[in-house]
Amino acid sequence: MKNFIAIVKSSGDKLDKYADFDTEADANAHAAKHGGFVCENPGGHTDYWVVNASEKTVVFDKSASDAVAARQVIMKSIATLEAEVSQRRVREAGADDAGGSQSGRDWMKAQEAKIATERGKL
């Protein structure tokens, strides 16, 4: 990660184009040639950089980044739980006259409850 960035273009508070540099002097030279402004690299993924062109600042929105990361964890958990519902498990949970069992139905209800709990976190 380089220490300085030259923000060349932004739309509203969103980053469109930037370049990163090791030194502030290099960043200033780039901004002088191509326009924009220079500031310290805020770190984090650029999707979560908030640009304020009038104040010539860029900040990393950690709360937005954390929210997306948490959502990804929940979605992965849901996918794992849903993958455990195999065809065999569905047959075991079927009606008694179709060869289903109470334990199979209980397992399926418990699995659906786990999935519902995870979805409720979204």
Full pLDDT tens readout for the chain, 122 residues: 799 999 999 999 999 999 999 999 999 999 999 999 999 999 999 999 999 999 999 999 999 999 999 999 999 999 999 999 988 888 877 766 555 678 888 888 999 999 999 999 99
DSSP lists the bridge partners of residue 37 as 7
Whether 28 and 62 have beta carbons less than 8 Å apart is answered as no
Instruction: Supply 35's token pair.
Output: 């326009």
Whether pTM exceeds 0.85: no
